[in-house]
Amino acid sequence: MDKKNIILVIDDDPLMLGALTSILSPKYHVKAARDGATGLVLANKYDIDLILLDVVMKNMSGYEVLAELKENDNTKDTPVIFITGREGTGEEAKALSSGAVDYIRKPIVPEIVTLRVGIHMQLITQMRIIERFSLTDGLTGVNNRRCFDQQLEVEWNRAARNGAPLSMLMLDIDHFKKFNDNYGHLNGDHALKTVANVLTNTIQRGTDYVFRWGGEEFSVILPETPINGAVNVAEKIRTNIASTPIFMGKETVRITTSIGVSTIVPDPATYPWGAAEFCEGIDKALYKAKSNGRNRVEVAD
């Protein structure tokens, strides 16, 4: 069964809140908030797909709520539909120019609410498919370098807010050029896919990320992981790759990897140059692993 999308409804009228929840709950998971402040908390806590937001509310208007949503990295891209009893094209234009994706008038008509929400859910699904392809490496199926750049910024800022350790691994297939020269590029592609599969299967937590950095190089981001935990993961990856056979017709070969590891508790004021220095340190640890004999893990200074 497909996972239901989550809709957040923010309205200070309990009757309207109940009506919208009744209309939408058969098809979607609905979260409800009776004021803007509570709505912002729920929007930040859950992975919300779409927000239905009343314009006129006590203490905090819909426009103020939308402005705060747009200022938050976690919610800035969540689409918002305004719901209001205000009339006039000027009011609708104001709502759309402020960042809302649609505008539904009160009194609501259940069929119209259902259709408009359904249209936006289809658009959300299509955009996510497009984004997923743009952030995925075509050969191995893991996240690509563009996705790495985006996710590192997200995890850097999250770790900085929480004062939590952020760990990262960078690994390189040993003697990969020689492998390609001996076995051909098609088998080289097979080796890259094998490494990606091992990485994906070794990384167990849903909060961890695997990326193809480029060529024969991969990286792994491990949020909220201290250095000893990161080294343990790196050793497990190294061991699993070294013990995984690569079948090429009648011949079976094995490959090894060199891995650099580092951990940091980020300072939010240092992004992006701090993150660049962090990656540079890991890269130096990787080359230290290579110069010390390969098939080993080294920790950045």
| Cα–Cα distance for residue pair 167/72, rounded to 1 Å | 24
Among the options 87, 216, 235, 280, which is catalytic?
216
Q: Which residues, at least 6 apart from 68, have a Cβ–Cβ distance to it below 8 Å?
A: 36, 40
Q: Which of 57, 54, 37, 53 is nearest to 45 (CA)?
A: 37
Tokens of residue 270, six digits: 């240092």
216 is catalytic: yes
Strands 217-223 and 166-173: antiparallel
The residues carrying an active-site annotation are 216
